[in-house]
Each structure stands twice: as C-alpha cells, then as structure tokens.
Amino acid sequence: MPKPDRSRSEACFKQALQHIPGGVNSPVRAFRGVGGNPFFVQSARGAHITDVDGHVLLDYVGTWGPAILGHAHPRIVAAIQEAATRGTSFGIPNPLEVDLARRVKTLVPSVQKIRFCNSGTEACMSAIRLARGYTKRDKIIKFDGCYHGHADSLLVKAGSGALTLGNPDSAGVPADFAKHTVVLPFNDVDAVQVAFDTHGKELAGLIVEGVPANAGLYLPKPGYFEFLERICRDHGTVFIFDEVMTGFRVSLGGAQSLFGLRPDLSCFGKIIGGGLPVGAFGGRQEIMDFLAPIGPVYQAGTLSGNPLAMAAGLAALDELESTNAHAQLETLGEHLESGLIQAAKAAGIPVQFRRIGSMFCAYFTEHPVHHLADAMHADRARFARFFHGMLDANIYLAPSQFEAGFLSTAHSPSDIEQTIETAASVFRTL
C-alpha cells in the first residue's frame, strides 16, 4: 500500500521543532512509541479528522477521550458559540457552574459537592492535597502504570506518555515527594494488604483509575475495587477514584456506577467539559468542605468554571442523557472487538483485546493482561508496524501500545466494518 503524501505535515513538524520542545505540546503526540513523525490536523468533524495535506482519517483517538459525540458536534458547538457572545471568561461566579455542578451530582451520587478546575492533572493533584489535608497524613497509594496527570506526587511509575517514552519516572520530581507515594501492582490484593498493614496510619489516600487506561487498557478482577474501597474505609484512608477518562464515558454514572462503588472523592475531566480544557473533583461534603474559602486546604484557578467549558459540558451531558448513546456505543464496541479478534486469529497474530464500553486496546501478546508487568510483555515493534499500516490506510489509532482507543456515537457500523477489513489486511503483513 503506497504511503500517503504528508509533506505539509512534515514541514509543519520541522517548524514546530524549532519553537516547541520535541515539536509537540504533549509527549505522546510525538510518535516516539511507534516511530516516524506526527501528522498535523486541519479540522475535524464527526468521526473523521482532516490533516493539513487533505487526507481524511477515521479517528479512534477522539482527542484522547472527550469526543464521545464525535468532533464538532452541533449541540456542543452551538452551546459554545452562544456562551461566547456573553464573554469568554469572567473570573466571577456564573450560573453555568451551578448548573453543571447540579447535573454531575445527579448523575454521580457519590458527589455531594464539586469544585471545577482546568485539567485532569489539576483535579487529581487537588484531590491528593485535599486527602492529605483532611486526614493530616502524608502518604498515598497509586498503582503501576496508572497515570493521574503530571503532578509531582503522582508522576511515579506512571503510565501514558511517560511510559511510552520509556521514562516511568520523571526528572524534576524531588525524592522527598516521591517517598510519600507507595506504588503497587494493580489487581494484587496481597500487595495492598501488606501496604496497609505497614503504612495504614500514614496513608492519606489511595488513588486508582476507574479503569486503568494509560498503559493500554486492563480491567479489575472481580471484587478488586470493592476490596480497595473497603480497606480504605477500615483505615480512614480517602478512596479517590480517577474518572478523568471513564467519567460519563463507560456509563452516565461513570465506572463507579458500573462497579457499584461510592468513592470518597472522584476526579473528572474530558467529557465533563465537552472537549474544552476542564477538570473537576468532588465527593463527600465533609471532605470537600475542607477546601478554601471555608476550609484550610487551598486550591484556586483564574479560569476555573470557565463559561465556555461549562456550557460545552452541559451540552455534552444533555446529549448523552437524552439519547441512547451508551447502548449505541456498546453495540459498536462489541462489533469492533469481535471483528478484530476474528481478523487477528485468521492471520495467526496473537492479540489480547481489552474493552469496556467505548474504550479499547489490543495488546500484541499471547498472555492475558491484568497489570502493567503483563502489558510490558506486549510486542511493541509489531504494534508499531500495525499502527503505521492502519495510518497508511487513513485510520488513526493511538500512537502507542500503552494508550486506549475511543469510539464515539459519530462512528457508524460501516466505519467499524472498514476498520476490521483494513486491520485484517494489515494483520496479514505482520
């Protein structure tokens, strides 16, 4: 298959390298996990993106999760345009903040109060600070390969771009910060029990992704999340559920609704802002009331509660709630999963396909994947060849073995069929 001409993207990247570190504003975009150079986008609509060379690509990245309704959804665009006519930023309370807070509380019962911020990183960072302030303890537990943003306390054995670049720990994180973070393997009950037996009285919080989706995608074993919730309760440790990816995507109530959980704190981003920069954290009132201005834990942000983001988030949740979106996404996901598994089997390619609703990942390995150590055994070179084969056919997957893919309601059954047929062809070349 001839490679598409992406000379304009190459020229853009050459210019970007002169002005932006690595030519990108978020590391995983640099294609270091698959080789080659990134393409540059001109526009996006529905399930497709158009690059600067005029190629139309079927998109399974969906701006890394927010585009659950597809790109430039008319309802979201109209909401942003209408809000913008009244001003793009106030730095003063506005009614849309209250409306979105009320809506989130309705959809996620564990959230009794919520604070908006500007990114998932900020939400998780603030939740950790709040847990420490509330418990008057220092240590936290996180899990191998789980990425909760790039705050110092959380960028220890992280996933996402850090893992893709082969740097699960970041320079610039003081050892004094890292020593308060206890990192455990996911899905290992015994490791968690030992950590609580050893550090129980020092543990301020335990943070975990709603579904670990920054080292690819792997699912909790039955009862595992319930165990985490219970042991946190028993030790007075704040149970923090990071739903930046899963919130409103795997169900209207997020992953905690699917698994029957009631976390102490939850973190949100992506869909909650309809694709605009946004984050939020919320939970039990007695914990949230430790935040300034009524409590001793400080958190602030000039653009927090931005009216454009609030309007976009409300529009996105309205559309999801008023349509059969999640059932539609489940049907599309089942179609994609079964088709790719059959195509790989027919080609004799070992693949472990992991999916929950509209989130998915294919690991090139014969062995089941339950945690980061399993994921690291995947054949990354084969994945890179698969990625570029699909990209040459104008199907865009996440440019790393360690990232999840995302479906949207804009994807059609024919899009899924096209993807399966293309994948079958590419599998035969691997």
Pairing status of strand 265-269 against strand 238-242: parallel
From the CA atom positions of the chain, what is the Rg in Å? 21
pLDDT given at position 357: 96
- How many C-beta atoms lie closer than 10 Å to residue 222's C-beta? 8
Report the C-alpha gap between 289 and 283 in whole angstroms: 10
Q: Find the angle CA(311)-CA(316)-CA(320) to the nearest 5 degrees.
A: 150
Report the C-alpha gap between 125 and 103 in whole angstroms: 23
Helix, strand, or coil (residue 119): coil
Residue 88 has pLDDT above 50, yes or no: yes
- Residue in this structure with the two tokens 């206890």, named with its chain if needed: 182
Per the CB < 8 A criterion, the answer to whether 102 and 132 are in contact is no
Residue 421 has pLDDT above 70, yes or no: yes
pLDDT given at position 164: 41
Report the share of the chain in percent with pLDDT over 90: 86
What pTM does this model have? 0.94
Give 116-173 pLDDT, tens digit per residue: 999 999 999 999 999 999 999 999 999 988 889 877 666 665 545 443 434 445 666 7
Report the C-alpha gap between 393 and 30 in whole angstroms: 20
Give 45-74 pLDDT, tens digit per residue: 999 999 999 999 999 999 999 999 999 999
- How many C-beta atoms lie closer than 10 Å to residue 361's C-beta? 24
Residue type, 189: V
Give 324-380 pLDDT, tens digit per residue: 999 999 999 999 999 999 999 999 999 999 999 999 999 999 999 999 999 999 999
Per the CB < 8 A criterion, the answer to whether 286 and 132 are in contact is no
Phi, psi at 119, each rounded to 5°: -165, 165
Half-sphere exposure of 19 (CA within 13 A, CB side): 5
Report the C-alpha gap between 423 and 150 in whole angstroms: 34
Q: What is the mean pLDDT of the chain?
A: 93
Q: Tokens at residue 61, please?
A: 């990245």
Q: Find the angle CA(363)-CA(229)-CA(123) to the nearest 5 degrees.
A: 70
For 272-296, what is the mean pLDDT? 97
Work out the angle between the directed axes of helices 307-322 and 325-347 (0-180°, nearest 10): 80
Which residues are catalytically annotated?
147, 242, 270
For 163-192, what is the mean pLDDT? 74
Report H helices in 253-379. Answer: 254-259, 285-288, 307-322, 325-347, 372-375
pLDDT given at position 39: 96
For 299-323, what is the mean pLDDT? 96
Domains and CATH numbers, the chain: 7-60+324-427 (3.90.1150.10), 74-322 (3.40.640.10)
